[in-house]
Structure formats: C-alpha cells, structure tokens
Structure 1
Amino acid sequence: MAEHNELGKAGENAAVAYLEDNGYVIRHRNWRKGHLELDIVAAKENKLVIVEVKTRSNTQFTMPEDAVDLPKIKRIVRAADTYIKLFQIDASVRFDIITVVGNKIDFKIEHIKEAFYPPLF
C-alpha cells in the first residue's frame, strides 16, 4: 500500500476512535453504493452525522478542510441522500469534517461540526 494510503487509513482509524470516545455510534465506514462513498456514517443524539475525513502529514501548503470544495460537497450530499433513502432513516442529518494532521504516532484531530450544509441548487 502506498504511504499516503497508509496515512489516510491511519487518519480514518484515529477519527473513528475520536468519535467513539466522544459518544458517537459508528454505523458505517467507507460506505459505498456505486460511485458514491461516505467516509464515516455515525449517530449521536438522534442525529445522523456524515463525516468526511481529511488526513495530511502537515499543513505547510494547505489546510485539510480546504479539500472539501463544492463539487466534493455535492458528491457527499448525493451519497448521504442515497444512504438515507436506502436505510429509510428518519432523523436530522449533520455534515461534519474531521481533519487529522501529523503522523501515525502523533495526530492532531480537529472536529468541525456542521462544516457545510447541502447546497440549494
């Protein structure tokens, strides 16, 4: 596995551990349906929480959350809509971003709640 893929997997594992430590129940990791994908689907306090995880070794050139641009948001929202319909979920939905920066031994995690809302177009 390429080094950046290993870093991404380690970052996602750290994000899952962070969420579980903070009372979230993980419903799915890397959920896929066709070309649609959600990094983490969690639940807490009767909310469905869709979490996009961005892992970087450093922030020298850009912040990890900057990679979640409008086209990425549209794909996440489309995937979330499919997930909600498929599993017949009747709960409010929140879209979060978790940034994981560092190496596999010493990550800095930031949880951005309500990082974005579904676009209205």
Structure 2
Amino acid sequence: MATHNELGEKGEQLAVEFLIKKGYKILERNWRFKKAEVDIIAKKNKLLAVIEVKTRSSNYFGNPQDFVNQKKIKLLVEAVNEYVISRDLDLEVRFDIIAVLKNKNNFEIEHLEDAFLHF
C-alpha cells in the first residue's frame, strides 16, 4: 500500500479514537454514495456529525483542512442528504473536518466543528 494511503488510514483511526473519547458514537466509516465517500458519520446526543478527515505529513503546502474544496463539500452534502432520508433520521446535521498533521513521530489533531460554514 502506498505511504499516503497508510497515513490517511492512520489519520482516520486517530480521528475515530478522538471522537469516541469526546462521547461520539461512530455510525459509519467510509460510507459511499455515488461519487462521494464520507469518512466518518457519528452521533452525539441529537447531532449527526459528518466528518471529513484530512491527514498530512507536513503543512508545507497548507493545513490539512485547506484541501477540502467546494466540489468535495457538494458531494458530501448530497451523500449525507441521502443517508438521512434513507434512514429516516430526525437529527441536526453538522459538517466537521478533523485535521491530522504528522509531526515527526507525533500526530496533532484539530477538530473544526461546522467547518463548511467557513467556505
């Protein structure tokens, strides 16, 4: 497996562990609809959190969250709309980004809630 794929999987696993510690229940990982893949769908109380995980080995070209573009946002919104409707969920939906940055042998995790409001 390519190194960037391994880094991405490690970042997603760290994000899942982070969310569980914060009281979230993980409902789905790598959920697909059409061309979209939702990294993590989690629930906390009456909130459905849709989380895009971005992992980078350096911030030389920008912060991990800077790599979520309008096209990705549109795909995620469409996918989550289908998820909510198909499961007949009555929850508030929030779109988050978890940015994971590898710094030598350590990982820094930043949870950006309501991240798509900033685009």
- TM-score band w.r.t. shorter chain: over 0.9
Match of 2:97 in 1: 97
- AA aligned opposite 1:74: K
Deviation at 1:33, TM superposition (A): 2.6
Match of 2:69 in 1: 69
Which runs of 4 or more aligned residues in structure 1 lie more than 6 Å from their structure 2 counterparts after TM superposition? none
Alignment-mate amino acid for residue 66 of structure 2: D
SS of match in other structure, 1:116: helix
Aligned residue type for 2:52:
E
* Shift in Å, 1:103: 5.9
Unaligned runs of 5+ in 2: none
State the percentage of identical aligned residues: 48
Aligned residue in 2 for 1:114: 114
- SS of the equivalent of 2:59 reads coil
Cα distance between partner residues in 2 of 1:9 and 1:58: 16
Could you say which residue in structure 2 is the equivalent of 1:23? 23
The letter of the residue matching 1:42 is A
TM-score using structure 2 length:
0.93
2:57/2:101 contact within 8 Å kept? yes
Once the 2 structures are TM-superposed, how far is the Cα of residue 37 of structure 1 from its aligned partner? 1.5
Q: Which moved more, 1:17-26 or 1:28-37?
A: 28-37
Matches within 5 A, 1:49-64: 49-64=49-64
2:17 paired with 1:13: no
What count of residue pairs does the alignment treat as equivalent?
A: 118
Partner of 1:3: 3
C-alpha distance in 2 between matches for 1:55 and 1:22: 19
What stretches of structure 1 of length at least 5 have no aligned partner? none
